[in-house]
A = this chain, B = another copy of it.
Amino acid sequence: MSSRVTLKQIARELDVSVMTVSRALNNRSNVDHSTRQKVLETAQRLGYRPNHIARSLVMNKTNTIGVIVPEITHSFFPEVIRGIEQTVHQNDYQLILMHSMENQEREAQAITTLESKRVDGLLISTAETVENYENYQKLIDESYPLVFFDRCVFDIGASCVGVNDRTSAREVTEHLIEHGYKKIAHLHGPEKVSIGKNRLDGFLEAMQQHDLEVRDDWLVPSALQEKGGYQAMNQLLDLPESSRPRAIVAVNDPSAFGAMHAIYEAGLDVPDDFAIVGFSDDIRAKLMSSPLTTIRQPAYEVGKKASEKLISLIEDPEEEIEQLIVPTELVVRESCGCPAEEETHKMSRFMEFAE
């Protein structure tokens, strides 16, 4: 640690120049075979570890990408990170992980830090409280490689990998409609976050297309965590019984869980009193006492695609900006009170690995 071995030491040991050692270690062509052997040997013997810091300084390249996620507690983002890790590792990059805690200020800090660390590119999923896109705009103006994932920012000149939130939200809403529900409420996310706006749009589209009334007080803002859904649902429960909705489209699964909690707490039931659907297929969705109908997002895939795009962007400045959509899948379970074919076996609710 204190006495880290350097090129110089190897050079002195063998009485050659630093350059020869550098070349030998970097597999350059113009080094005599026997010299290279000797260098490799001594490097090994001395326990040489190349100093990436020095290398990065001169090469102006760190082979590191920064990842900013808004939260990391449950299943979605860890799974995305797994996907990112995989690609990044295969391409000889590393990943610095930062965590905005759904907070714009911490996100801004994270960006600054990562810039200072001279990461080669950035992967961002915007925080819930993001109010403006200045920080992103600055990055793009400096043509810093940047790819958004899951929560996108459009029309700003950055690539994004996500799902088609609007279409998927419409699909899940239509599923409710097709099964006879007419009084449908939406617990919607923040409008500045793409998933909030797009899922709301998808919901509205489905409702309009089927000529269903969208009451103002059935559009309840919900934060993206359990608590948000809980509070939003309680707002609906405060309505006189006659003007309550019969079904709920939640902006995501955690929000739906929170809503379910509020429903049970009020002594009511899912799906008998309220049908409810979520979005993202959280690991817990299928395990709920009334398993949640939801939209499955291929998180691993999102991470993989996003990091692949970013690395292309880094390595080829000609690489074009684009929006990548990974397909989702409607997963019908009991919470919507529609006949589902899925998941008959007690335990298959849980297991997927079985050979």
Q: How many residues of A contact B (CB 8 A)?
A: 64
Interface mask (A63-85 → B, CB under 8 Å = 1, otherwise 0): 01000000011110111011001
Chain B hits for A227, CB < 8 A: 353
Copies of this subunit: 2
**Interface stretch (choices A155-163, A179-187, A208-216, A284-292):** A284-292
Chain B hits for A95, CB < 8 A: 96-98
If A1-B142, A116-B50 touch, does A347 touch B82 (CB 8 Å cutoff)? no
A52 touches B143 (CB 8 A): no
Q: Which of B115, B117, B142 contacts A94 (CB 8 A)?
A: B117
Residues of A within 8 A of B (CB): 1-2, 47, 49-54, 56-57, 62, 64, 72-75, 77-79, 81-82, 85, 89, 94-99, 112-113, 115-118, 138, 142-145, 225-227, 230, 257-258, 260-261, 264-265, 283-284, 287-289, 345-347, 349-351, 353-354
Closest 3 CB pairs of A and B: A287-B287, A264-B347, A97-B97
Smallest beta-carbon distance A271→chain B, Å: 14
Chain B hits for A51, CB < 8 A: 57, 116, 118
Q: Which of B72, B94, B112 contacts A96 (CB 8 A)?
A: B94
Q: Which of B47, B50, B62, B345 contacts A53 (CB 8 A)?
A: B62
If A283-B284, A353-B226 touch, does A81 touch B74 (CB 8 Å cutoff)? no
